[in-house]
Structure 1
Amino acid sequence: MPPTHKSMTFCLCLQVISSALSSIVTQNQKLLFFSNKNFKKAMALSLFFFLLCASVRIGYAFPPHPDKIILLPGQPQVGFQQFSGYVTVDDKKQRALFYYFVEAETDPASKPLVLWLNGGPGCSSVGVGAFSENGPFRPRGQVLVKNEHSWNKEANMLYLESPVGVGFSYSTNTSSYDTVTDEITARDNVVFLQSWFNKFPQYRKNNLFLTGESYAGHYVPQLAKLMIELNNKKKLFNLKGVAFLFNPIRFSFLSWQLGNPVLEFATDFNSRAEYFWSHGLISDSTYRMFTSVCNYSRYVSEYYRGGVSPMCSRVMSLVSRETSKFVDKYDVTLDVCMSSVLSQSKIISPQENGEKIDVCIDDETVNYLNRQDVRTALHARLVGVRSWDVCSTILDYQLLDIEIPTISIVGLLVKERIPVLIYSGDQDSVVPLTGSRSVVHQLANQMGLNTTVPYRVWFSGQQVGGWTQVYDNILSFATIRGAAHEAPFSQPERSLVLFRSFLQGKALPEVF
């Protein structure tokens, strides 16, 4: 076998060392070598060249990871590594999922690995989760600013754009975008994880947590179920927990966490009427109609089936008129975001145009991720689309899947003794905390779980961070005070406290 370039380079290095030693010995051959003062020089020089050669050889043996991000455009200097790229989940149809992976700020080898999934269905975990909520950076103009409450302070964060057709994820066979279901998404996600661990085997033994928000209330439990089934055949995942935010449309396996998730269609959606009424967004008469004539789950079900009844149309017209399009349903306390893309003169009166209106968060992210230099740095490409979008415009998702309850899968995880946290931002009216709390309480009763932490406040710093209740030290519910649908964006510090406590298996702070 002919010598390789790297072996020839290493041999050349050794020849340099040999020549240096020979020269020194020759110059001092009349003296006892071990008493010669130049002996130290020889040894030092030899050591220097040897280490240099070793570094050359190691560099060839362990080339940089092909998915490693050298530097994102406008990024501040940081001490952790970032990776992004594609994992093929179907060779035949050339279906590939895009991911963005951020190592923990400190001690990534021992910190947990956390998979984050945004909902939609069809919205980007990279654009929303990583660059708007809990990732290390947020776009601001032409640069990135550091997120002081990034979740990679506590864990290695893996953001996945799923299903295929979301963000930079793609298929060369456009039929892959037709009638995508929860089942297809879960299967692709588990294939992704298996292949991702082949890329990063050093993280296979780290504790794995599955997290997400909104429609991830479907994604995460169904993915967790598949992982458990695979683990029963052969231990593949070190799943330690699940957590998610209980809000709707728009895992080593330790546990899971869900933020404002959709777990039980009717309960989650119908709690919207009470939330609207209790926050003064609808009148008494509209509340009565919204709860007795046509509730929200009925309206959504009719809408997805293509035929909204006249009665439901009337009720929803009343609700829409009273709640107003100028109230952000994802955060009822937030001033409406006037997108810089729209003409302000069409939205607000001319005399008010002098007031500066912030660019919407989506605009900042969309502008940044659509820059060619950013896509190059991320190893991303556009396939079959002209631009990157926050939520997919090409995906045909089977929206009737939202009616399939996933709370029973949550019960399965609890039986497997996998910790589950369901949390809600208390300013979100899309899937209000009242629905999430009811679903969790009903599940605890059905399973005969005892209350181990009675309903109480928890603290973030010297302020109330929210409220929490825990059942059998395995199933937890929590609210985040002042948080919206995207809790890590609206309340980053409190969300980080919640996240840290969950990863560490500790109760939320009871005092400040």
Structure 2
Amino acid sequence: MELRGELGSSRTWFWLVALLFAYASFTVKSVESTNQLKDEFVQRAADRVKWLPGQPASFTFRQYAGYVNVEGDIGRHLFYYLAESPKNCSGKPLVLWLNGGPGCSSMGNGWAEELGPFHITENGTGLVLNTKSWIRYANLLFLDSPTGVGYSYSDNPEENHSGGDARTAEDSYTFLIRWLERFPEYKTRDFYITGESYAGHYIPQLAALIHERNKDAELKINLKGIMVGNPSTDNYYDSIGAIDYWLSHAMISPKTHDDLHRACNFTDPNCCSQECNDKYYYANQVEIGGIDSYNVNSPSCPSADDGAPQKRRRLTQSSRSKNPFLRVVAGYDPCNSYGYNADIYFNRKDVQKALHANVSGEIPYKWMSCNTEISWTDQALSVLPLYEELIKAGYRIWIYSGDNDGVVPITGTLYAIESLNLPVTVPWYAWYTKTQVAGRCQFYEGITLITVRGAGHEVPLLQPSRFLSMFRYFLVGKELPGDPIYT
């Protein structure tokens, strides 16, 4: 009996001690969680942008900007900007915008030139409201990624000059998780990822990572869909699509078209031969000539203000790829001054202070719209397998293309989508804004393909009304309107 009593007493003490440990652990975690929430609340308040230099007095929306550290040991600091919709922001989705390059700033391109709440005035002196901004329909989150792009930076200087697909996706995912802790009201909000150009890699890679991590993550990101514009999709299809587009638009001769197909082996990851490179540069320098390939029908700007020849951004090259067709950065209309204005505006100290960026001079280089010196360490040959994965998971996927883009043209995108052998649910038709043809579209089982008439590589730059209309239909998941006479 005494032995049995001792055992019973031992068990009682065991459970008492276990309960005390559990309570202590719970209390510590509760305190840590409370402190974390408090820290995030304080940081969120510090991120509030009260006023941007030159901002018009008529703005009526909240904006935030600052950094999220995505790597504690090294210190990789990704810069973000959030503009909340001026009306009923709590009832509208969260939309992330990513620019490509790789190496181009979402602030310098998407924010300043395309769909952000403001445009920058001449010589970076001020801001005007962008009446075609997406904030009419959504809360907009802009992210500069990877480090070395825009205001984003790493404490390790080497990481400001190199990047890759894998690290960019991982850092962007970590950013979202930590950003949502700072803005918890968006945790359950419908979430969409959008962007253009090399973000054709970033977006499906990030979406696939979210889909996979959501299976076990404590915080599940409420991803509903993605929309990518003029996207880098598949090395092979993008490359042959460019050649075929050039011929169809009388930009190159039939002979050069055939020579490029013969000399360039785009199925080889180590493409291309010297002959292929020579044919490529001949096509660009001699036959295509002095146009902006990012918008083939735009007027050329014959000279800069000082009378010197205007630098053509289409010729800007980097060593990111052995395939000359992929050595490009996001471009813009050569007669458009937004990019020049952004370079001035975002290097202003008062602007950086207002945006809580580079406050202590952490960035050892000038802000630039596109950092062409970033070396790219890993690059997917194709993101088509990710599209198949995302289609199977049921996400909304829209792919759009300005039909005047000669760098990542509609032909290559069409070839890539057709290679998936998806059933067509709504065949090719012209879609309209009011009484004007805005482009063409075709609905596949799992993907919607859209062209935007009269737009180049950066669709909202030249066709903001059509772009905004398309975005609205994307959010509600409805077909684009056809000919108003027959509908």
TM-score computed with the length of structure 2 as normaliser:
0.81
Give the secondary-structure state (helix, strand or coil) at the position aligned to 2:432: strand
Alignment of 1:507 with 2:475, yes or no, is: no
Equivalences for residues 380-391 of structure 1 within 5 A: 380-381=357-358, 382-391=361-370
CA contact (8 A) 2:400 2:449 kept: yes
Aligned residue number for residue 433 of structure 1: 410
Q: CA deviation at 1:430?
A: 0.6
In the TM superposition, 1:83-98 aligns within 5 A as 83-98=64-79
The question of 1:277 aligning with 2:247 is answered: yes
1:16-68 per-position Cα deviation (integer Å, ceiling 9, x unaligned): xxxxxxxxxxxxxxxxxxxxxxxxxxxxxxxxxxxxxxxxxxxxx99982111
User: Which residue is 1:65 aligned to?
Assistant: 45
Q: How does 1:102-501 map to 2 (within 5 A)?
A: 102-141=83-122, 142-177=125-160, 179-234=162-217, 236-238=219-221, 252-294=222-264, 297=266, 301-302=270-271, 308-309=273-274, 311-337=275-301, 340=304, 343-346=306-309, 360-381=337-358, 382-393=361-372, 395-398=374-377, 401-402=379-380, 404-443=381-420, 445=421, 449-472=422-445, 474-501=446-473
One-letter code aligned to 1:78? F
Q: What SS does the corresponding residue of 2:90 show, helix, strand or coil?
A: coil
**Is contact 1:75-1:145 (8 Å) kept?**
yes
Cα RMSD, aligned residues only: 2.2
Determine the C-alpha separation between the residues in 2 that align with 1:347 and 1:181.
32
| Conserved? CA contact 2:78–2:144, under 8 Å | yes
Does the Cα contact within 8 Å between 1:100 and 1:160 map onto a contact in 2? yes
Cα separation, 2, equivalents of 1:312 and 1:182? 26
Q: Which has the larger radius of gyration?
A: 1
Q: CA deviation at 1:371?
A: 1.1
Deviation at 1:211, TM superposition (A): 0.7
Amino acid corresponding to residue 455 of structure 2 in structure 1: A
Residue 241 of structure 1 aligns with which residue?
Answer: none
Report the Cα offset of residue 230 of structure 1.
1.2
Measure the CA separation in 2 of the matches of 1:401 and 1:208: 26
Superposed displacement of residue 361, structure 1: 2.4
Aligned to 2:371, the other structure's residue is in SS state coil
| TM-aligned CA distance change 1:317 to 1:395, over 3 Å | closer
C-alpha change, 1:257 and 1:359, in structure 2 (3 Å) is closer
Q: 1:428 to 1:236 in 2, by over 3 A?
A: same
User: Partner of 1:258: helix, strand, or coil?
Assistant: strand
* Aligned: 1:74 with 2:54: yes
* AA of the residue aligned to 2:480: L
> 1:178 Cα shift?
5.3
Q: Is the 8 A contact 1:427 1:485 kept in 2?
A: yes
- The 3 A distance-change label for structure 1 pair 236 and 321 is same
**Letter in structure 2 aligned against 1:266:** Y
The equivalent of 1:14 in structure 2 is none
1:272-316 deviation digits (Å, cap 9, x = unpaired): 111111111111221121222236x4899446xxxx52x224312
Count residues with an aligned counterpart: 417
Distance 2:392 2:354 in 1: 43
Aligned sequence identity (%)? 38
What's the offset of the Cα at 1:164? Answer: 0.9
Give the unaligned 5+ runs of structure 1. Answer: 1-60, 239-251, 349-356
Q: In the alignment, residue 264 of structure 1 is paired with which amino acid?
A: D
Question: Aligned with 1:122: secondary structure?
Answer: coil
Partner secondary structure for residue 116 of structure 1: strand
Contact 1:177/1:396 (<8 A) preserved:
no
Q: CA deviation at 1:343?
A: 3.7
SS in 1 for 2:192: strand
Contact conserved, 2:112 with 2:338, CA < 8 A, in 1? no
CA distance in structure 2 between the partners assigned to 1:375 and 1:330 by the alignment: 30
Measure, in 2, the Cα distance between the counterparts of 1:325 and 1:388.
31
- 2: distance between equivalents of 1:405 and 1:144? 39
Aligned equivalents of 1:401, 1:281: Cα separation in 2: 29
- Report how far residue 488 of structure 1 moved: 1.2
| Residues in 2 aligned to 1:275 and 1:299: alpha-carbon distance in whole angstroms | 21
Per-residue deviation, 1:394: 5.1
Residue equivalent to 2:27: none
